[in-house]
Amino acid sequence: MFTLFQRDDCHLCDQALIVLAQARVTGLESVFIDDAPELASRYGTRVPVLRDGRGRELDWPFDVATVTAWMANHLA
């Protein structure tokens, strides 16, 4: 399971979704931080941020190769 923390009307978040689709990330949940003060405080300008089920996070910018390697470490 992967979670993408993002904001509404965020062009970087839109780009991240394209990269994640190209990397064939499955089990992706999108969480919009705008209406959650605790998440907005934590992630603020860091979005988009990809988090795995273990709580590891990958901050933007990332590309297909970076996501693929990061996911391989997730499975290890």
Residue 45 has pLDDT above 70, yes or no: yes
| Number of domains, the chain | 1
Predicted TM-score (pTM) above 0.85: yes
CATH number at residue 6: 3.40.30.10
Question: Residues 53-68: what's their mean pLDDT?
Answer: 96
18 vs 36: CA distance, rounded Å: 24
Give the residue, 72 or 4, on which the prediction is more confident. 4
- Which residue type sits at 51? R
**Rounded percentage of the chain residues whose pLDDT exceeds 70:** 96
Containing domain of residue 49, as a range? Answer: 2-75
Residue environment code for 40-76, b if the CB has 16+ CB neighbours within 10 A, otherwise e: eeebeeebbbbbbeeeeebebebeeeebeebbeeeee
Nearest Cα residue to 47 out of 3, 9, 71, 12 = 12
Mean pLDDT of the chain: 94
Question: Residues 7-35: what's their mean pLDDT?
Answer: 96
